[in-house]
């Protein structure tokens, strides 16, 4: 069964007098424990549909269902709550907070998502998740001392520490070399499978497609093929 569906989602941006329809009726159906990769030329609308699906900006039309709930009818507050508790995000660059250690970034995420835990439990949870992404030996490090691949591992652990149902990733390997990209993709795939997450990932790298369960191609604001 699909946990997440996008039906005929449209998006129009207005620039002064000019209106540009960037999404012309996008349909997606995402299943638990699967990675759907969204590919297509630059400007085809991939980031726009990803951010709308993730509740980061509103659609101009269409309907989105998550876990049987119609997200398009929800208040800003309800969407904010779902984003904080049920969604995880990974972007092209890791967006780590420079003055916090790896451990502190993750504790902060647990605080933000409203997970009720004592400090000691938080630290144990952080340790567990860092082990999962192979970064437990770097828990006291600051971002500046981490390599690109290590930073992205921390970003991934931060995206999943609150046990989200959905993971949204926009070109998560774009800033990495080929070897690190594959490691990061393998990690996202492992986590999607073992934690039964539903993952939607934008990528423009052919090499990443074998890690996806479905590949959906976008062109000029429409889906050409796939899920
Ligand atoms: N906030 C915005 N205001 C106006 N136009 C936008 C905005 N965001 C995206 N666009 C336009 O929408 C189109 C699709 O952008 P985007 O979804 O970022 O494409 P992709 O991620 O596939 O490269 C582009 O033409 C872009 O210029
Ligand atoms: Mg984009």
Tens-digit pLDDT profile for residues 27-80:
999 999 999 999 999 999 999 999 999 999 999 999 999 999 999 989 999 999
Output the CA angle 94-142-130, nearest 5 degrees.
70
Residue 159 CA, distance from chain mean position: 7
Question: How far does CA 166 lie from the centroid of its chain?
Answer: 7
Residue 93: DSSP 8-state: S
Note residues around ion ligand 2 (Cβ under 5 angstroms).
Answer: 47
Helices 148-160 & 178-194 angle (0-180, nearest 10): 20
42 CA from centroid of ligand 1 (Å)? 9
What pLDDT, on a 0 to 100 scale, did the predictor assign at position 31? 95
| For the CA of 56, the nearest ligand | 1
Pocket of ligand 1 from Cβ distances under 6 Å: 13, 22, 40, 42-48
Ligand nearest to the CA of 53: 1
For residue 226, the model assigns a pLDDT of 56
Residue 11: enclosing H or E segment and its boundaries? strand 2-15
Q: What does the pLDDT average to over 136-151?
A: 96
Residue 147: is its pLDDT beyond 80? yes
Predicted confidence at residue 115, as pLDDT, reads: 79
Which of 166, 177, 172 is CA-nearest to residue 200?
A: 166
Mean pLDDT of the chain: 93
Q: If you take atom 2 of ligand 1, which residue's CA is the nearest one?
A: 13
User: Sorting pLDDT into bands at 50, 70 and 90, what band is 199?
Assistant: very high
- Pick from 201, 225, 196, 197: nearest CA to 212: 201
Proportion of the chain above pLDDT 70, given as a percent: 98
Phi–psi pair at 64, nearest 5 degrees: -125, 130
Q: Which long-range contacts (CB under 8 A, 24 or more apart) does 124-132 make?
A: 125/161, 126/161, 129/157, 129/160, 129/161, 130/102, 130/103, 130/106, 130/157, 132/157, 132/191
Contact yes or no for 150/135 (Cβ under 8 A): yes
Q: Using the predicted structure, report yes or no on whether residue 205 has a pLDDT greater than 90.
A: no
Tell how far the Cα of 40 is from the centroid of ligand 2, in angstroms. 10
Tell me, what's the pLDDT at 116?
A: 85
Supply the range of the domain harboring residue 116.
2-225
Residue 127's pLDDT is: 96
Q: Which of 10, 12, 13 to mutate to test the pocket of ligand 1 (most atoms within 8 A of CB)?
A: 13
Question: Residue ranges of the alpha helices (H) in the chain?
Answer: 46-53, 76-86, 102-112, 119-132, 148-160, 178-194
Atom 17 of ligand 1: nearest residue by CA position? 45
Whichever domain contains 143, its CATH number is 3.40.50.300
Ligand 1, atom 6, lies closest to the CA of 13
Residue located nearest, by CA, to atom 4 of ligand 1: 13
Q: How far is CA 104 from the centre of its chain?
A: 21
**Percentage, residues of the chain above pLDDT 90:** 84
User: What is this structure's pTM?
Assistant: 0.94
Label residue 86 exposed, middle or buried (CB < 10 Å: 0-12, 13-18, 19+).
middle
State the closest ligand 1 atom to the C-alpha of 41, by its place in the atom list counted from 1.
22
- What does the pLDDT look like over 115-143, one tens digit per residue? 788 999 999 999 999 998 899 999 999 99
- Number of domains into which the chain is organized: 1
Mean pLDDT of 145-173: 94
Distance, in Å, from the CA atom of 35 to the CA atom of 30, rounded to the nearest integer, reads 8
Q: Report the atom number in ligand 1 closest to the C-alpha of 20.
A: 5
Ligand 2 centre from 92 Cα, in Å? Answer: 9
What ligand 1 atom has the least distance to the C-alpha of 15? Answer: 4
User: Could you tell me the strand order of the sheet in which 18-31 lies?
Assistant: 18-31, 2-15, 61-66, 69-70
Under the banding of pLDDT at 50, 70 and 90, the label for residue 2 is confident
Name the band, by pLDDT with cuts 50, 70 and 90, for residue 98: very high
């Amino acid at each position: 069964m699909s946990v997440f569906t996008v039906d005929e989602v449209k998006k129009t941006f207005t620039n002064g007098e000019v209106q540009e329809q960037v999404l012309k009726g996008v349909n997606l159906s995402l299943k638990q424990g699967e990675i759907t990769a969204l590919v297509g030329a630059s400007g085809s609308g991939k980031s726009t549909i990803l951010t709308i699906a993730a509740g980061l900006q509103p659609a101009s039309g269409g309907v989105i269902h998550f876990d049987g709930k119609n997200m398009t009818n929800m208040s800003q507050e309800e969407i904010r709550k779902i984003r904080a508790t049920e969604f995880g995000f990974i972007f092209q660059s890791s967006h780590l907070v420079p003055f916090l250690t790896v451990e502190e970034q993750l504790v902060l995420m647990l605080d933000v998502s409203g997970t009720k835990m004592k400090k000691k439990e938080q630290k144990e949870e952080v340790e567990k998740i860092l082990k999962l992404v192979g970064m437990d030996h770097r828990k006291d490090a600051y971002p500046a001392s981490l390599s690109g691949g290590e930073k992205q591992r921390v970003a991934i652990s931060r995206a999943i520490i609150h046990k989200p149902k959905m993971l949204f990733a926009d070109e998560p390997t774009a800033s990495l070399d080929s070897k690190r990209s594959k490691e990061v993709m393998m990690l996202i795939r492992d986590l999607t499978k073992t934690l039964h997450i539903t993952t939607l990932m934008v990528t423009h790298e052919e090499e990443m497609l074998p890690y996806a369960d479905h590949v959906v191609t976008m062109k000029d604001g429409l889906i050409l093929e796939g899920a």
